[in-house]
Amino acid sequence: MRMGSLLSLVPNKVFPIKPTYTMSGAKDRMRHKKMRNQPSNVTYSHTGRSSDSQQQQQMRGLTQHPSSWMRGHQDGGVRHEQALPKYITASLFAKARAAEVNAMLRAVTKTTGSSQVFGALPKHMRRRAMSHNTKRLPCRLREMAQRMLEKSQQAGKKEKKKQSKTKSRRARRRHGNLLLEFNRRQRKNKWLETHIWHAKRFHMLKKWGYCLGDRPTYKCYRASYRAMNSGCLLQDLSYYCCVELRGPEEQLLNALSRLTSKDAGPTFAAASCVSGQKEGSVMLYKADQYPHQPLGPVCFLWRPCSTTSPHRQLWIWLHPSLKQDLLPELQAVCQCFEAVAPAVVEVVPSENLAEASPIPPAPSDLSSEPQCSKRKRKVEADDENGCPAKKIVGDGTRSLSTPVSWMSSTTEIVISDLTMEIVRYRLIGPLSHSVLTEILVPATDCENNIKMTSSPFWWPEECKKEESMSLHRQQTDVFQLLRGVYSTAELPAGCVLGLTVDDPRLSLPAKRGKAMPDLHRTQGVDEEGRRNLTLRGVPSPCAQSALWEKSVRENVTNNKISEQDLNRMKRELLVPGSRLLTPAQSRVPILLVNQAGKQLGEERLGWGSGWDLLLPKGWGMAFWVPLVYCGVRVGGLQMSLKHCQNKSVPHFPHDYPDCPAGVRFQEQQEIELLEKFKRHPPSKRTNYIKYGCVAPFRCPWQQLVEEWEERVNQDSKTVEMKDVTSLSGDSPNPASAFTVLRSRKVLRQLSVWCRPSSSHPRRAPSGCRAPPLCPIVTISLQAEWKRCLLWVRVCALSKGQPALHAMLCVPTTEDLQRLREDPQWSGPQEPQHTDHLKHQLKRKGKRGEAALCCSALKKEQDCNIPENDDVSSASEKEKNPELVPINQHSGPSLVLRDPLPEPSAAVTTDPGNSRVESLSITGCSNSDLVQGLWTELLPNMLSHCTRMTLGWVVQGDFSLATGTGEALGFVSLAGLLQTLLRQSADQRGIVLLRNPTSLQYRFARLHIEA
């Protein structure tokens, strides 16, 4: 009996509780784990008493409801002790106990799933890497450990099997298979010819349908700047698209003039460009829409007039993101709608030529025959296997089947898309011409015996024509003159030089060196010729090149000697290391285009000038490697952005917010920045509302110009000049979108106004021509250019490193006064704003967790105590808390505003705005409310902070060129004029700069470069 009572205590200790308790999930899981290997038959088979049967039921309930287990002794256990049985049947009892003991023994011997075998080992017997080598375990555990090891290995294999490759690595790396793989990987984003070179060294980005290198993986930011500043930086710009227009000159000019305006600078018809002597750049607009609906900037190059054809040829180079906008517009303007079928011509000639080439092209060249036969075999092999060889045709912005050429039924213009047909490299820096003279060797003349026979290659044919040879000699002379030039900036901007050169791989230096201008060679150059070159540029006939001819381009591309053959030829040379005889097919027509450096403004003139190298496709790597061997640095997209920034030129598509491509870019950028922002944990995110930063990820330009326009109208109403206002302000076109001011005349006038008058007393003649800054002029200017943004450069006066989307603000008169007294003053501070959206967010969070429960509770409270006033009012407040804080917030900001005459209307509109916004917030709060960010509807941004916002920075960084923070951005034209009018003459053009993550304003000087 005693023993029985003792034993009967056991189940009580194990399950001492009633099943009604609730508990959390973690405990639940833990219990489940512990109980997994417990015997399930720990039951009383005895059913004698009601209390026992109750217990039994409870226990069954327990196993079914594992959530009802709890550790520790509970009150419920007491009840069982009271209900101890008075007698037990021995046999049944013993059976039950035996079952328990059995179960217990089984539980002890069985390992739980999670524990390793070594879990069973005492600590002092554990050894290093036991799971790896089972022999380190004691014998008795080895077997089990071995089993587990196998199991884990199998599990790992299964994961890998999913992505297993059917072929061995050796098979995969075979040339044909590798090319197939490359083609597959290029299906979505095309590769440039230098892709593999770049992919080994650069962080690659998939952009605009291409894989492009962004920046090198090694540290070279400063070194790249130095290269641009005093050496040479190389970029692959082959992703730029080239569109060819062909037709009579007048028709082309007439058609294209609808896209441009003389007001914004030289157009397609600029005299020096039409002659083909210079490359021009122009801003394009939708047909007859100037100054509205801009499309984007392009470069263009006319082919010099040739006597043979009355038609002119024009290449337009454009950014790939611009292509989808511009191409339809070009077609519309030229009335070219009839697509010319993408002839099979693209593919056929390669085979034809390859089959035609077995005639040994150069009998003197020993190695050419095996090479040709080899190629033929390769072509055949390709045909047999049906696997396409790597096609050099193709580009990222269209599929192969879409037409690439359009002709017109009414005019004679033909548009063809030459994207990826021409390789374009850009060399930036004062030494870029030295690099070019280092690697390029003007084509040598052909041997006489080849001249007699007809040849499948273009150069021997060319050699037969006397005029082309004289042109070649002329071009060679000009090219030799380049050696005498010390800096690329000395040459006239945009000049073009056509040239035919030998394959640069033939003269590849054995060692990588650095190209330097050579003093000795400089002295050899004819001084008079050099002077003529720098003064007048390359004479226009020298701009002619065979690169313009499609047939020549194809010939050259298809007959390129492969790297392998070239190496074999080098190996077979009698004297190792000596220069190869030039094979007949290795002459390449190229174009060299000078790129102007910084032309506008006062500082760093001529900075960042360089040369563009245009090559036929397929020859990219052949020129790239020798260029790199000359010690140039290679930059990516990041460096082209920095290049533009130092030249203070807008970079497409980043800095064209009024162009469709720019808008797309901004949207993309906003998404990316927001993603990045949301990757931080909420507690580590910047609260932009507290910093008073309305739009940290995207600049709402439209709202800015509209608000400034409104304000200016109100100002002018309150002040005077009602007649002008009625002319300008009362007919606002709400639909009109903002544009960027690109009229050269207006820009020049503004740039004079922005200068502080005292600093340049010598500039009097230029100042007197432009009308002095006065309200009447500005009002007429504003009337003419409504909703305009201005591209400005901002230099920090002392400290401050502007970041992306930093605010440009108007300094108050007190600020300027203090700055005058203390030039070292760092600037005013913005008081911290209150985050009124926080309540919204908190409520949202609560709602998410226990919405039902809360609402039920609230209802209950409301029903139960309706007389309790303060509770109900509190809940009222909770319902729309955003109303109160906004008003609280907008109050001080109004008080703190600058002393500009405050139009009363603005004050009245402000709360209205906020109310509308608050309503909208309650409407959309559930969808996209992120802490620290404004929702879709922004507040009045002009007067959101204590200093009025003029605009935002789109590119800002510490400038290595000036040694201070420097930024490029846009400001509202109306706002800037207002600001300038209020500033005294000696402090004109001083603005405040504030980063989105800072409350500190910094003084900066604003420049308009025109």
Minimal distance, residue 267 CB to other proteins, in Å: 6
Rounded CA-CA distance 506/539 in Å is: 29
Residues 15, 64: contact at Cβ < 8 Å?
no
Among residues 276, 302, 316, 279, the alpha carbon closest in space to that of 595 is found at 279
- Supply the DSSP symbol for 674: H
Q: Which residues are 300's β-sheet partners? A: 280, 316
Minimal distance, residue 1009 CB to other proteins, in Å: 10
**Of the ranges 349-357, 405-413, 532-540, 917-925, which one interacts with other proteins (CB under 8 A)?**
532-540
Minimal distance, residue 798 CB to other proteins, in Å: 16
**Of the ranges 269-277, 471-479, 564-572, 879-887, which one interacts with other proteins (CB under 8 A)?**
269-277
Minimal distance, residue 763 CB to other proteins, in Å: 7
**Residue 798 makes contact with other proteins by CB under 8 A:** no
Token digits of residue 115? 């524990």
CB closer to other proteins, 749 vs 995: 749
Minimal distance, residue 1006 CB to other proteins, in Å: 16
**Residue 535 makes contact with other proteins by CB under 8 A:** yes
Q: Which of residues 553-612 bind other proteins (CB under 8 A)?
A: 599-603, 605-606
Q: Which residues are 603's β-sheet partners? A: none
**Residue 848 makes contact with other proteins by CB under 8 A:** no
Sort strands 312-318 and 280-285 into parallel, antiparallel or unpaired.
Answer: unpaired
CB closer to other proteins, 57 vs 962: 962
Q: Which residues neighbour 261 within 8 Å (Cβ) at sequence distance 6 or greater?
A: 267, 285, 290, 291
Q: What SS3 class is residue 20? A: coil
Residues 595, 508: contact at Cβ < 8 Å?
no
Rounded CA-CA distance 809/917 in Å is: 24
Max intra-chain CA distance, the chain? 130
Q: Which of 23, 99, 149, 269 binds other proteins (CB under 8 A)?
A: 269
Sort strands 807-809 and 788-796 into parallel, antiparallel or unpaired.
Answer: unpaired
Q: Which positions from 107 to 146 touch other proteins by CB under 8 A, shown as an x/- string?
A: ----------------------------------------
Q: What SS3 class is residue 436? A: helix
Task: Give the number of residues in contact with other proteins, rule: CB under 8 A.
Answer: 38
CB closer to other proteins, 72 vs 963: 963
CB closer to other proteins, 262 vs 676: 262
- E strands of 348-439, at which residues? 405-408, 414-417, 422-428
**Percent composition of the chain: helix, strand, coil (DSSP 3-state, to 5):** 45, 15, 40
Token digits of residue 632? 């140039």
**Residue 1005 makes contact with other proteins by CB under 8 A:** no
**Residue 521 makes contact with other proteins by CB under 8 A:** no
**Of the ranges 112-120, 264-272, 283-291, 860-868, which one interacts with other proteins (CB under 8 A)?**
264-272
**Residue 489 makes contact with other proteins by CB under 8 A:** yes
Minimal distance, residue 388 CB to other proteins, in Å: 48
CB closer to other proteins, 176 vs 517: 517
CB closer to other proteins, 267 vs 475: 267
**Of the ranges 144-152, 381-389, 488-496, 787-795, which one interacts with other proteins (CB under 8 A)?**
488-496
CB closer to other proteins, 527 vs 876: 527
Token digits of residue 459? 């150069």
Minimal distance, residue 261 CB to other proteins, in Å: 11
Q: How many CA atoms lie within 13 A of 422 on its CB side?
A: 28
**Of the ranges 156-164, 268-276, 420-428, 987-995, which one interacts with other proteins (CB under 8 A)?**
268-276
Minimal distance, residue 494 CB to other proteins, in Å: 10
Edge-to-edge strand order for the sheet containing 587-595? 496-502, 587-595, 610-616, 422-428, 233-236, 633-634
Q: Which of 766, 868, 873, 997 binds other proteins (CB under 8 A)?
A: 766
DSSP state string for 583-596: PTT-EEEEEEEEE-
**Residue 490 makes contact with other proteins by CB under 8 A:** yes
- Cα of 499 vs its chain's centroid, Å: 35
DSSP state string for 795-807: EESSS----TT-E
Q: Which of 25, 769, 774, 870 binds other proteins (CB under 8 A)?
A: 769
Q: Which of residues 75-114 bind other proteins (CB under 8 A)?
A: none
Q: How many CB atoms lie within 10 A of CB 101?
A: 11
CB closer to other proteins, 262 vs 859: 262
Rounded CA-CA distance 996/624 in Å is: 42
**Residue 631 makes contact with other proteins by CB under 8 A:** no
Burial of 738 (0-12, 13-18, 19+ CB in 10 A): buried
The CA radius of gyration of the chain, in Å to the nearest whole number, is 40
At what angle are helices 883-896 and 904-924 packed, to 10 degrees?
A: 150
**Of the ranges 262-270, 500-508, 941-949, 996-1004, which one interacts with other proteins (CB under 8 A)?**
262-270
Q: Which residues are 314's β-sheet partners? A: 245, 302
**Residue 272 makes contact with other proteins by CB under 8 A:** yes
Minimal distance, residue 745 CB to other proteins, in Å: 8
Minimal distance, residue 276 CB to other proteins, in Å: 12
Q: Which residues are 301's β-sheet partners? A: 315
- Cα of 317 vs its chain's centroid, Å: 21
Q: Which of residues 939-998 bind other proteins (CB under 8 A)?
A: none
CB closer to other proteins, 266 vs 442: 266
Q: Which of 77, 248, 349, 517 binds other proteins (CB under 8 A)?
A: 517
**Of the ranges 64-72, 112-120, 399-407, 515-523, which one interacts with other proteins (CB under 8 A)?**
515-523
Minimal distance, residue 268 CB to other proteins, in Å: 9
What is the C-alpha end-to-end distance of the chain, expressed in Å?
A: 109
CB closer to other proteins, 203 vs 748: 748
CB closer to other proteins, 360 vs 601: 601
Rounded CA-CA distance 911/909 in Å is: 6
Binding stretches for other proteins (CB under 8 A)? 262, 265-267, 269-272, 275, 277, 430, 486-487, 489-490, 492-493, 517, 519, 522, 531, 534-536, 599-603, 605-606, 744, 748, 762-763, 765-766, 769
